[in-house]
Amino acid sequence: MNDQITLLQALVLGVVEGITEFLPISSTGHLLVASQWIGAANTSGTFEIVIQAGAVLAVLLFYRRELLERARAFPGDWNARRFWFTLLVAFLPAAVVGLALNDFLDALLEARGLQAQVIGWALILGGFVLWWVDRSPGRDGSAEPSQVITFRQALMIGLAQCFALIPGVSRSGATIVGGLLVGLSRRQATEFSFYLSIPTLGAATLYTLVKNYDKLVQVGSVGALGLGTLVAFITSLLAIGWLLSYVSQNNFRGFAVYRVVAGLVVLAWARSALG
């Protein structure tokens, strides 16, 4: 294992982050396992979390027109205010639970052997959950008008997002499953998951950067961090457009199968390589 995160490692991690952040397959789980596979320095998830800023920027750019319109309409338009308030309601549960379990989560991210086991099982169980929740027909929403997300639905999605604090669960997967369970179509659940990533990933990035800045400086560099974030931004932008197109015509069962296979691979590797 290297003492520093190299530019090549930052490039690889940026690609992994960008591809997996918005797919329901767990970006954090993939990043933490990829870090071990390529021998990157152990930052207890700090580097991997900070480069998620690239994914946040990708969402802001992709939805810039919609976000600007809703921001400008906020003072006088209840529908615009409702949009921002539902995001706040959905964001708060994970923020509160994350702060409460902060020490436990830090210990889990530090222990790489246990971490791999947790990720493997979380991928597998999450795959079965995704398959089960998405089994019902008629979730594509192609023939339905766009519905207004209620505060109750937003709260349920926010509670579902709390499970994503466990490495391997997937923030996007948890919020999409939550959206499907409260009656949203696949596209609506996916888009709300994108919007919810802005406060969730933004807050996680800022908090982690401030808290673990010294650790990040020890093993990384401005160049490596900048490269990882830039690559994550570019690949996330491509992934967002692709996923929206995909869910308009397909279900999530392919991702469910992938999760189970990936989880089995991770568990097998953890047993052979980590003991």
Read off the tokens for 204: 């996680």
CA distance 258 to 253: 9
Whether residue 261 is contained in a domain is answered as: yes
Contact (Cβ atoms closer than 8 angstroms) between residue 216 and residue 10 = no
Residue 1 lies in a domain: no
Q: What are phi and psi of 23, to 5 degrees?
A: -85, 145
- Looking at residue 72, the DSSP 8-state letter turns out to be H
Is residue 2 in a domain? no
Task: Identify the DSSP state of 141.
Answer: -
Q: Position 137: which residue type?
A: P
Total structural domains within the chain: 1
- Are 182 and 156 in contact by the 8 Å Cβ rule? The answer is yes
**pLDDT of amino acid 112:** 65
* Other CB atoms within 10 A of residue 69 CB: 13
Q: What is the dihedral of CA 27, 29, 30, 35, to 10 degrees?
A: 120
In angstroms, how far is CA 187 from the centroid of its own chain? Answer: 17
Q: What is the pLDDT along the chain (275 residues), one digit of tens a residue?
A: 556 788 999 999 999 999 999 999 999 889 889 988 888 876 666 788 889 999 999 999 999 999 999 999 999 899 999 999 999 999 999 999 988 888 777 776 666 667 888 999 999 999 999 999 987 655 555 445 457 899 999 999 999 999 999 989 999 999 999 999 999 999 999 999 999 999 999 998 888 888 877 766 666 677 888 999 999 999 999 999 999 999 988 999 999 999 999 999 999 998 887 65
Q: Which domain, by its residues, includes 90?
A: 7-274
Decide if 160 is inside a domain.
yes
User: Which amino acid is it at 54?
Assistant: G
* Predicted pLDDT of residue 145: 46
E strand or H helix at 135, and its extent? none
Q: Give the per-residue pLDDT at 101.
A: 87
Q: Give the count of beta carbons closer than 10 Å to the beta carbon of residue 225.
A: 20
How many Å apart are CA 170 and CA 26, to the nearest integer?
4
220 in any annotated domain: yes
Instruction: Evaluate whether residue 254 is within a structural domain.
Output: yes
Q: 107 CB contacts (<8 Å, ≥6 apart)? A: none
